[in-house]
A and B are shown apart, each in its own frame.
Chain A
Amino acid sequence: MSTIAVEVRPPLWRRLIGFNLLTAILLGIGGWYVGWFAAHGVVGPSIAYFAAIDYNELSIFMAYVCGVLGFLIGLGFANYPFARLRGYPPSLREKETGGMGRYLGLCTDHKVVGIQYLIGIGVFFFVGGLNAMLIRVELLRPDHQVWPAGTYLTIVGIHGTMMMGMMTSGILGPFGNYLIPILIGARRMAFPRIEALTFWLLMAGGVILESTIFFGGFPTGWTGYAPLNIQANAGMDCYILFFALVGISMTLLGLNMIVTIVTMRAPGLTWTRLPIFVWGVLSTSALMVLAAPVLIATLLMAMLDRTAQTSFFIAAGGGSAYLYQNLFWVFGHPEVYVLALPGFAIVLELLPVFARKPLWGYRLAVAGLLGVSLLSFFVWQHHLFVSGINADLRPFYMFSTEMISIPTGFTFLCGMMTLWRGQIRYTVPMLFCLAWFFNFLIGGLSGVFLSDTPSDTTTHGSFFSMAHFHYTIMGGLVFTFFAGIYYWVPKMTGFQINERLGKIHFWSMFLLFNLTFFPLFIAGFLGQPRRVVTYAHNLQFLNDWVSICAFLLGGSMLIFLYNFVKSLVFDRIPAPADPWGSKSIEWQLPSPIPVHNFDRIPVFSSDPYGYGEPSGPVAVPAGAPAGSE
């Protein structure tokens, strides 16, 4: 690969043949039909098949499983294991040099994967957001049906599943993959191929979830409760496969992160010198690795209930619908912290830079992140307070849930004390971080009403809980996601993002977000249940208000999109190496960062928060990293 010979670019048709996205899509479609017909061959001879010819879930499952396998083979994921089987020597790199083509296939450069994640997840985030707009269209009038009831539930389901599934990797995917090796002074992730695999699994999953509309959609929302998921039509299979793929992707992503952070830190980077963002990624990864396998197993059981006539979740067949609820929330509650924790970490990482002070209470901040991760495994039955299961344990779950506010309070305290007596600069990423405090405060305090069992009787399953988790997830995760974009994308691409448009985006998003979601607390208090296609007439004003603000909120996302495309595609103003004056190591490297990150592995002698202290920025060793070769 490293020959100096003048590169002759082959013609376009030749470049399209090989292991790339086009091949992957073709093999994916081919694999889909192979699975479809093969499974018909399996079920065909049985009597049940002729009794109910339209009831053949196995074909759909097999079609998608084979489709995903074809897709991955087309991308080239099978090449390396086969090459090793045939006795070729191991090679760590895949497509690490080259042009834009790297972004459209299997690439083992963690920086490329990070940018792939950013774009890929961004696209599906906008698709999910579009679904939210469609939901709000329906709720403009209390009893007028814009969408048929089934379509409406499918829209609600896709919105919820897309956001809760895709966005689990919303920060770890783009920023985790891109930054973790750099922040710990490594040249790559521990398992670069698995890193690429997590991304492409997620993309395959996203397409599968959207394809549910060809199979009649699914009526269960993102929780997919049994036994509704067993009586649902074929669109349910797409939900199951999507979430299972997300589960696999999460598990692998988490493992990769943990192994990388534990084993590949540069000399001198002790646990107390680790940037807090790395701690956030580490604790989130621990949640992913421990929680996501439960989801995969649960969905496998649901899949067997649907195809092989088992009855894990069917009461009449000896199963229990509670089993599904329990298993789902054993995964589901840690999962909401998978969404929230990276947000905590980004806030704590960015505040020192823009307040020009060291991170206050480093150990307390770490304890907060780890404490939330630990406690999040012991609270899941608060989702089942009125379900009639294990009534004696409700006081325990009430207590454990409320306990989470203690480590969350650590994050608040550390953030607030970092601002204290600082020299605060109101840049766009800083504004998003400060908005996090506002949103997460409301999200957290409304959570107190939900965690309190007596109070939860009314708020459970109402718009109140819906407003609560939008405050914590949209207000917590999405705001910090944007903070990360405005902060790190100049480093990732080497181009500035327009600050003025960024501020317009921030203020419109912040105001409209609150105008949209705060009234939903009131709607919930007044008795509007979640996921309804119709509601009481006296709630129409509230709902109309929310709908209109939601459309405008969608509009503020378009401002961001315009800014992003304008700044990075058209304006292309080169960003300075360290536009924020940060002492962290990624800003000491040129932007964009060269393929090998460092010519020599750096040696760390302090944490990256030495503002106002004699210690300088983290030193990149002599000779400095070479730019492009």
Chain B
Amino acid sequence: MSSAPATAGGGTDHGRRVIVAWIVLSVITTPLVVIFLGPILPPGHASQQASEQVLDNTVITAIVTPVICLLAVFFGYALMKFRKAKGGAIVDGPPLRNHNTVQMSWIVLTSVTVLFLAAFGTYELLQNGSGGGQGPNPIAVPSGPKLQVQVIAQQWEFTYRYPSYGGLETSQLVLPADTDVEIHVTSLDAIHSFWAYQLGVKADANPGNDNIAFVHTKGPNTFSVRCAELCGLWHGYMFSTGRVMPATQFAAWVKQQQHTFAAVHKYMPNYATTYYPDPQRRAG
């Protein structure tokens, strides 16, 4: 394998043209993408974690844009410029087999990009867990007091327990505004996934496991909750709506719920991080 030291360009400097066009295009499109696409990227700004995911998505989009530009410019140029003339015999192109500078710059560029992405992602992740389930021993824990809420998934609904309010159990998730919430997700049967889309929270519900995610709610809002892991027959119908309400309203709601379900709560099992259903329960 001889490495012919021909420049990437040859006669006319195709290489320089492509690189200049790429840089110009990237410089124009990247800010446009960040300005126009950035604000509409999911999952919105209903919680601190959600906002950080939006930032993360924006950064990734900004990095991805020049890559798309490079390939667009390259292929646009190469496919027009280097096509075989219509008719005529088949002609061979120049036997370029290698070019060390091109190789090395490509490797360095991709490696730097990857390192940056990984470092940025890790930094964002370790800030406050960015809403993902972290298992029973979370590593990214926001400081300060937190409201504990347990999400119990079963086929095919979510129920919610509030251990700090005497194990109150409800079928709708209600959270106080501007509060750090510690969400404990567990399951009674198959694997489910608790996905509060607008809050930017997703945590799998595994039987016999306590999966913890953190979220810092912002102002009053509603959010949708869906199951994001195939859990059997009615998986598609496993959704509900949750609410974030001001702290005083939340306290009133808790009082009212406690009153309504007082008769039922007497018979409920004590609060625990995991619940084991009957092991022989098969064929849901």
Which A residues lie at the B interface, using CB under 8 A? 55, 149-150, 152-153, 219-221, 223, 225, 227-228, 230-233, 272, 311, 314-317, 320-322, 325, 355-364, 384-392, 394-395, 398-399, 402-403, 405-406, 409-410, 412-413, 416-417, 419-426, 434, 437-438, 441, 445, 448-449, 452-458, 460-462, 525-527, 529-536, 581, 610-613
Q: Are B56 and A153 in contact (CB under 8 A)?
A: no
Number of A-B contacts (CB under 8 A): 311
Given contact pairs A356-B92, A357-B92, A454-B56, a sample of 18 additional A-B residue pairs in the complex whose CB atoms are under 8 Å apart: A314-B207, A321-B209, A325-B191, A386-B203, A388-B136, A391-B135, A398-B125, A405-B113, A423-B90, A441-B71, A453-B130, A454-B130, A458-B43, A461-B202, A527-B224, A527-B226, A529-B227, A612-B95
How many Å lie between the Cα of A425 and that of B93 in the bound state? Answer: 12
Mark each residue of chain B from 69 to 94: 1 if its CB lies under 8 Å from any CB of chain A, else 0: 00100110011001110000011111
Interface size class, chain B: 35 or more
Q: Are B191 and A525 in contact, CB atoms less than 8 angstroms apart?
A: no
Which residues of the other chain, A, contact B43 by a CB distance below 8 angstroms? 458, 527
Nearest B residue to A535 by beta-carbon distance?
A: B236
Docked CA distance A409–B41 (Å)? 26
Chain B residues 172 to 210 lying within 8 A of chain A, measured CB to CB, are 185, 189-191, 193, 195, 197, 200-204, 206-210
A361 partner residues in chain B, CB cutoff 8 A: 97-99, 103
Assess whether B191 is in contact with A454, with CB atoms less than 8 Å apart. no
* Per-residue interface assignment for chain B, residues 51 to 73, with 1 indicating a CB less than 8 Å from any chain A CB and 0 otherwise: 01100110010011001100100
Given known A-B contacts A225-B190, A228-B191, A390 and B200 have beta carbons under 8 A apart: no
- The answer to whether B93 touches A355 (Cβ under 8 A) is yes
Q: Are B117 and A452 in contact (CB-based, < 8 A)?
A: yes
Q: Which 10 interchain pairs have the tightest Cβ spacing?
A: A315-B208, A388-B211, A533-B236, A454-B130, A316-B279, A612-B92, A388-B135, A532-B236, A612-B95, A391-B134
Q: How far is the CB of B25 from chain A (nearest CB, A)?
A: 15
CA distance A220 to B133 in the complex (A): 22
Query: In whole angstroms, what is the CA distance A357 to B230 when docked?
Result: 49
* Contact between chains at B114 and A405 (CB < 8 Å): yes
A285 nearest CB across to chain B (Å) = 24
Q: Which residues of A contact B82 (CB under 8 A)?
A: 355, 419-424
Contact call A149/B233, Cβ cutoff below 8 A = yes
| Complex contact A221–B103 (CB within 8 A) | no
A316 and B207 in contact, given A413-B102, A449-B57 (Cβ under 8 angstroms): yes
Name B207's contact: one of A321, A422, A448 (CB within 8 Å): A321
Measured in the bound complex, the distance between the Cα atoms of B186 and A581 in whole Å is 62
Smallest beta-carbon distance A225→chain B, Å = 5
Residue of B191, B203, B231 with most partner-chain A CB within 10 A? B191
Nearest CB of chain A from residue B10's CB, rounded to whole Å: 6
Partner of B42, one of A358, A360, A526: A526
Residues 207 to 232 of chain B near chain A (Cβ within 8 Å): 207-213, 224, 226-232
Assuming the contacts A356-B90, A386-B132, A426-B83, asked whether A395 and B96 have C-beta atoms less than 8 A apart, the reply is: no
